[in-house]
Structure 1
């Protein structure tokens, strides 16, 4: 008598069922692996958040922010957030610190000295990388700045002296007016660099605005150029036109540090290019994010020459200087 089909083929059915269970388990594991891979891929491709803290809404700072945006806007691996300091409604910057702490970025960029001071003294987070831009004398803003990363507004003395030698080769004696308490170190570096480049640099130290006229009146006859550097003590915007007019009357070429000097009649000015500095800051930010590297960077600038002024005071205009170097 034949056995029932189910009983006869029972072991076979069990084998088939077992195989299906194994295949089902493998399918579940495969799908789980896909989900985990997708999750990991999503996490890896989340953009790195960069917060830009701006000291004030003034054109130089906004130009720098624009430069950062232009450099990073097409990248999908970073996300920018811009915050402005509000001295009027948030004098202690408590609100800004709370907002930063609630959603800390991977990197914070301080634009201007106030933002730099806030970032290093008020916002304490070891997990957030920090850098600065558009800061004059950063070592005065946050002590120990050599350990800080960023792009200052200072152009090395040696670089400026070389620019004078190339752009104004007839100037052999230049007077540098400065406050010793603010710029003594820079003045000494400049004197050494000038000597190495065949230029005699006379250090005209003054302790107050009242001393400037006296010191210059004693040296107009012995200098061919007057070099004015950013110095909070002895240089003010209202003083610049007066000094330039006095220099012109004595056939002395004034060398300044922004477009206002050229517009006021200076012969030459080393003008910082703020938007390009923003692009420099963007590149530095990427290096910090992905390589943890921060290389010293000279701020972007251009040398403007005023040929009409040079002609008026009897200095020749180098033929190598093209229209792009004129105001």
Structure 2
């Protein structure tokens, strides 16, 4: 190393010089990052907390849809909160922490997240939306105000589609437990009567009653309608009911891919990534005008051509949305 009268001209090694330079840059870099954050806020970029109920595929696909839709705009950024990682006793502290961070909007994915946000976040101080929640009014009870995208297709819309898909159906059996779905039946019967259709109530209090009920009434039905119901619906029951209806040449209407694959002629199908994208658009709208109302979820109606052929049902070569031929 070069010296002058025994004194080093460059008292630091090359490595030490680089290290010193790095530490000189750190404060500048942190200042730059802080500046970028401030500039983003000044530019109107909103911060969204997406609270996810459980680590299951439909919810994760919905989160992907939210992220994908919002990544195409510079209006909002997303932070995902995995609610399933927090015990019930820890959730009040989680809520406090989220509120202190002053997100512009909180989005619940699934019923647990929905209940968490509405129980812990005051609507006057936090803008809240929900998605992928079936029958939200039964979770919070009457009198509560909430806004989002329920996992419910309005009964009148379902009947319109059923009438279009099975035009000769004049007597449709509805299999349900009145403890859970009496109100659905009443609404369905009311709207169906306007179309000249009779909804026949196939009421059960337990699954043991289903075989005798089908034996006594199924042959008089033009179609059988299965809806979400805690008593009636299980994988084994669904397969059994669809098989019995198929034997008697009665088409079945279901509400997800499992029904379709089990032999239903028609099934209402949700694409959860699309529902996430729909929720993202609702987020942007709510942030824009601070108002909100519930929206009908995006859905398709899959037609099972193989089942239609075996039931000797005529299916046109081309069909219009929301109808599609299933895989």
TM above 0.5, one fold? yes
Which category of TM-score, normalised to the shorter sequence, fits these structures? Answer: 0.7 to 0.9
Q: Deviations over 1:196-250 (max 9, x none)?
A: 2232221112112122222211111110211000112221122111111111111
Unaligned stretches of 5+ residues in structure 2: 1-36
Whether 2:90 is the aligned partner of 1:90: answer no
Asked if 2 retains the 8 angstrom alpha-carbon contact of 1:167 and 1:318, the reply is: no
| Cα separation, 1, equivalents of 2:131 and 2:214 | 34
The partner residue of 1:141 within 127, 139, 142 is 139
> Partner of 1:254 in structure 2?
252
> Partner of 1:8 in structure 2?
none
Question: Normalization by structure 1: what TM-score?
Answer: 0.82
> Partner of 2:326 in structure 1?
326
Asked if 1 retains the 8 angstrom alpha-carbon contact of 2:174 and 2:224, the reply is: yes
Q: Over alpha carbons, which structure has the higher Rg?
A: 1
| Cα separation, 1, equivalents of 2:96 and 2:292 | 28
Alignment of 1:178-327 (within 5 A): 178-321=176-319, 324-327=324-327
CA positional deviation for 1:116: 0.5
- Once the two structures are overlaid, the 10-residue window that deviates more, 107-116 or 211-220, is 211-220
| Cα separation, 2, equivalents of 1:190 and 1:209 | 22
State the SS of the aligned residue for 2:77.
strand
Q: Deviations over 1:149-187 (max 9, x none)?
A: 110001111101110111221322210111112111111
Asked if 2 retains the 8 angstrom alpha-carbon contact of 1:55 and 1:111, the reply is: yes
Unaligned stretches of 5+ residues in structure 1: 1-38
> Partner of 1:162 in structure 2?
160
State the SS of the aligned residue for 2:292.
coil
> Against the structure 1 CA distance between its residues 67 and 41, is the aligned structure 2 distance closer, same or farther, given a 3 Å change threshold?
closer
Asked if 2 retains the 8 angstrom alpha-carbon contact of 1:167 and 1:321, the reply is: no
> Partner of 1:60 in structure 2?
58
| Cα separation, 2, equivalents of 1:59 and 1:159 | 27
Question: Normalization by structure 2: what TM-score?
Answer: 0.82
The partner residue of 1:129 within 127, 130, 143 is 127
Number of aligned positions between the proteins? 289
Root-mean-square deviation (CA, aligned residues, Å) is 2.3
